[in-house]
Copies of this chain bind each other. A is one copy, B any other.
Amino acid sequence: MIGAGTVGGGVVKILARKLGEFRERLGLDLRLTRIADKDSARLAALPVGDAICSGSADDVLADDQIDIVVELIGGTTVARDVILRALARGKHVITANKALIAEHGPELFAASEKAHVSLYFEASVGGGMPAIKTIREALVGNDVVSIKTIINGTCNYILTQMAAHGWSFAHALAEAQRLGYAEAQPALDIEGHDAGHKVAIMASLVHGGYVPFDRLPIEGITHIAAEDIAFAAELGYCIKLLGIIRKDGTDHAVDVRVHPAMLHREHILASVSGVFNAILLEGDAVGPILLYGRGAGELPTASAVVSDIVDVARNIVSGKPLRISMDYYAHDNALALKALADVHSRYYLRFSVVDRPGVLASIAASLGKQGISIASVMQKESHDSDFVPVIFLTHTAVEKALRAAVTEVETADYVRQKTQVIRIVD
């Protein structure tokens, strides 16, 4: 094992308790032989048993007796180097590193193919929920028609708290940071990139190619206002950061995206609160399947790493360790992604306009000109002397038409703030 931080510490603790059972009940002669972390104090605090502790990953990589390297360093620089070296030395690798898999998957899986070893990454998506295993094994008889997922606990915690207390985003973020649910540097979570990494990995598995991560449409939650959540609630909706993976039969491209979405309160994902995550998979045979659980944390994530360790060990014991091929994660196999401009959706629009006659008609005319049909309108009394919020819910429209209409509206002199646009998901 390389890296003994939060997740690594959790893995050591589980192994200390479970290795005896793995040897006896499962018949796997598993041992933790070496563990490396720069911080020797961390290692000293863990029940490492007979494992040889060291400050350098090299000691692990150089040991020819080691079959499996568990990389829990995090980040995409040192970790990438360590994994590539481990694979090149013929070691199976297990990682929880979603950024690395999502951004460097093709390179890493090519290296694992070349070395005839496996690269497992269950812990990279959804903590202890068996997301990868379910897609890759349990639903193998299905075309996975769609995935909708709440997959970042920090964002879901912030949005849940905003809804419960009427807090602003900034206040909810500060509270989440105070309680340890958000990092001091929260951008990776609140800008949607962490969710994007996980969604990219799932989309790659489902559609047999890799998602070019830099082309994935990702929108975070930083622009969600307390009043949007309040208006949504009044209309029977909640707002969640949602990952979506969808392919319609008529289109070659796969619709993969991460953004805030309004879900009707009866939607099964609407009840996923706080730091919990959920993945709603729709298979053509199995119908909807929901996985729900803690998507992060020391022991939940470690639980997934340990399940990979046992899986790879079972594969090794079976005599031919490459049980599951990963060659569809290959260099030449980039998925074509549907452009956000071509997505069809219903929309929530909050215009901030001067309260004077003719404004509503003018906005409606701009929407009508783009062929966008209005489902409902709500105008509230002003909280502010300057402008009022006017809410439109639209019927299904294509995003580029919607954006063109909003752009036209925003050229008018009665608009006071940028328009809020939130997609409504069924």
Contact = CB atoms under 8 A, between A and B. Distances in A.
A105 B294 CA distance: 33
Top 9 closest A-B pairs, CB basis?
Answer: A141-B306, A128-B286, A130-B138, A290-B292, A318-B320, A285-B299, A286-B303, A289-B293, A285-B303
A229 to B, nearest CB: 21
A180 interface: no
Interface of A: 10, 14, 18, 22, 25-27, 122, 127-130, 133-134, 137-142, 208, 268, 271, 283-294, 297, 299-300, 302-307, 309-311, 314-315, 317-325, 328
Given A139-B303, A283-B303, A323-B314, A208 B25 contact: yes
B140 A307 contact: yes
15 contacts: A14-B285, A122-B138, A130-B134, A130-B137, A138-B304, A285-B300, A285-B303, A286-B293, A286-B300, A286-B304, A290-B293, A317-B320, A318-B320, A318-B322, A323-B323
**Residues of A contacting B: mostly:** mixed
A303 B133 contact: no
A18 B139 CA distance: 12
Q: What copy number does this chain have within its complex? A: 2
Contacts of A324: 26, 314
Given A285-B302, A286-B303, 10 more contacts: A14-B141, A26-B140, A26-B325, A129-B289, A138-B307, A141-B305, A286-B293, A289-B291, A290-B292, A315-B323
A165 to B, nearest CB: 18
Given A292-B292, A300-B286, A307-B139, A130 B128 contact: no
B291 A137 contact: no
Contact of A294 (B286, B305, B315): B286
